Amino acid sequence: MVTWTDEQYQHERYQDLLRAAEQRPRVRAALAARRRPSAVYHPLLAWLGTQLIAWGWRLRARYGGLEHRVTCCACPEPFR
């Protein structure tokens, strides 16, 4: 048996779906109208990304053993 609250729930859900359908074209238009970042920055950002990765690898090569010792020796010794 369908109750009044079930009908109200379905009606509200239907209204929400209608609002979302009406809003979708406005969102698409707003996204299409926004300015895109200049393509001049793309090679610069790609270069910066590769430099950061290389720096990370060098740091890991230099201090990787230290990281291993810290994680292994940080455990407390068992009681005797």
Q: Convert the pLDDT of each residue in 27-78 to its tens digit.
A: 999 888 887 767 778 888 999 999 999 999 999 888 876 665 555 555 555 5
What length is written for the chain?
80
- 79 or 20: whose pLDDT is higher? 20
Predicted confidence at residue 56, as pLDDT, reads 92
Q: Which value, to the nearest 10 degrees, does the dihedral of the CA atoms of residues 59, 54, 40, 38 take?
A: -60
Three-state DSSP state, 75: coil
Instruction: Identify the pLDDT of residue 35.
Output: 79
Instruction: Give the pLDDT score at 16.
Output: 94
Q: What is the structure's pLDDT at 42?
A: 87
Measured CA to CA in angstroms, residue 73 lies from 8, 66, 70, 77 at distances of: 62, 10, 5, 9
Dist. CA 49–CA 56, nearest whole Å: 11
**What is the DSSP secondary structure assignment for residue 36, as one 8-state letter?**
P
Residue 80 pLDDT level (bands cut at 50, 70, 90): very low
